[in-house]
Structure 1
Amino acid sequence: MTANRTLRSLDTQLDALTEAGVTRIFSEKISTCATRPPELERAVALVRELRASGVAVTLVVHEHKRLGRGLELAALAEQLKAADVGLEFLTGDLQGSHDPSGIVFTVLAALSGMEREYIRDRTLEGHEAARRRGKNIGGAAVARTEPQPA
């Protein structure tokens, strides 16, 4: 069930990018917790190479969370800005084209990093509360037993 949900989510993103006229799409199924996913590295290398050859380039992303959050997103945006590469998000809080040096972009990027931490903390708190009530979270339950005297 999780795999199907992931596929549908990726399909939605791919459809939106295609509809937006994106000519080269990089995709991967990896957590955005990974600092710099391999396909993102390839995409950034390509846009820099194209820009260095004189072609106007815009990196179009479905949602800012696909690039990273917080400082990671702000750092990547600054690198793109330095290379004179445009940045556009199709959906989400940062929808539209952006100047990464702008204050609005910086604040929203920082808030998205805080959002990740907030969600993580709330999830861990919920799991702990469920465990205290005897519910299993995730895989098989593990019970601690004392060794029996021989």
Structure 2
Amino acid sequence: MLIGYARVSTAAQDLTPQLDALKEAGCEKTYSDKASGARVNRPGLAEAIAYARPGDVIVVWKLDRLGRTMKGLVDLAAELEERKIGLRSITDGIDTSGTAGRLVFNILAAMAQMERELVRERTGAALAVARRKGRFGGRKSVMTQERKNVVAELLKTDMAPSEIAAAIGVSLSTFYRHFPARRGD
């Protein structure tokens, strides 16, 4: 039996094109979700998998409808293979119920893993270059040089650190991060 699964990321998106493609592909039963691919809890996918029996094939419009990560797809494909359930992607032209389809799927999985590792390496290299140039990621500090100058003047008065922080519009923890010596005050 061909069992269809369709997913869109938000409730505002339309499932119709996917459902039409699944029906045209010959799916006798179809399940769907309106949820991000990153979400683990997708009831429609869980129902489709629970309904499938050995020899059945789960059909999707495109592999990315099953999840965002190739690892997740590979794990799902392995689970389906263990249960003797095939996986077919209409637009990607992959059908794991055959030997060639499993080979293509595993090659794509290996390539996706390699791409993730290359992106991680390039990102790490770019961050290292930025750090050497004195640039760091994250939000800019709210404690500007102007505020630090004001704090320096206010510290000469009898104001408590909490009052100074409130006066310049920063949290007490931000104040202490920039003036740790005043923590005991």
Q: TM-score range by the shorter chain?
A: 0.5 to 0.7
Confirm whether residue 22 of structure 1 aligns to residue 27 of structure 2.
yes
Asked if 1 retains the 8 angstrom alpha-carbon contact of 2:70 and 2:112, the reply is: yes
With a CA cutoff of 8 Å and minimum separation of 6, indicate the structure with the bigger relative contact order: 1
Structure 1: distance between partners of 2:98 and 2:115: 19
Displacement of 1:115 in angstroms is 6.9
Displacement of 1:3 in angstroms is 5.7
Asked if 1 retains the 8 angstrom alpha-carbon contact of 2:71 and 2:109, the reply is: yes
Structure 2: distance between partners of 1:21 and 1:99: 16
Corresponding residue number in structure 2 for 1:138: none
- 1:35 and 1:59, CA in 2 relative to 1: closer, same or farther beyond 3 A? same
Count of residue pairs the alignment pairs up:
114
- Which amino acid in 1 is paired with 2:94? G
Please report the RMSD computed on the Cα atoms of aligned residues, expressed in angstroms: 3.1
* Aligned-residue identity in percent: 35
Confirm whether residue 43 of structure 1 aligns to residue 48 of structure 2.
yes
Structure 1: distance between partners of 2:106 and 2:41: 19
Confirm whether residue 81 of structure 1 aligns to residue 81 of structure 2.
yes
Q: Unaligned regions of 5+ residues in structure 2, if any? A: 1-9, 124-141, 148-165, 169-185
- 1:103 and 1:28, CA in 2 relative to 1: closer, same or farther beyond 3 A? same
Displacement of 1:36 in angstroms is 4.8
Corresponding residue number in structure 2 for 1:109: 109
Asked if 1 retains the 8 angstrom alpha-carbon contact of 2:94 and 2:104, the reply is: no
Corresponding residue number in structure 2 for 1:61: 60
Secondary structure at 1:87 match in 2: strand
- 1:29 and 1:78, CA in 2 relative to 1: closer, same or farther beyond 3 A? same
Corresponding residue number in structure 1 for 2:90: 90
- 1:44 and 1:107, CA in 2 relative to 1: closer, same or farther beyond 3 A? same
Displacement of 1:100 in angstroms is 8.4
Q: TM-score, normalised by structure 1?
A: 0.60
Secondary structure at 1:25 match in 2: strand
Secondary structure at 2:44 match in 1: helix
- 1:100 and 1:33, CA in 2 relative to 1: closer, same or farther beyond 3 A? farther
Asked if 2 retains the 8 angstrom alpha-carbon contact of 1:81 and 1:100, the reply is: no
Q: Unaligned regions of 5+ residues in structure 1, if any? A: 123-143
- 1:27 and 1:110, CA in 2 relative to 1: closer, same or farther beyond 3 A? farther
CA displacement, residues 37-65 of structure 1 (integer Å, 9 cap, x when unaligned): 22111111110xx33xxxx3111111111
Structure 2: distance between partners of 1:85 and 1:30: 24
Displacement of 1:18 in angstroms is 1.0
Secondary structure at 1:28 match in 2: strand
Bigger Rg, structure 1 or 2: 2
- 1:13 and 1:85, CA in 2 relative to 1: closer, same or farther beyond 3 A? same
Q: TM-score, normalised by structure 2?
A: 0.50
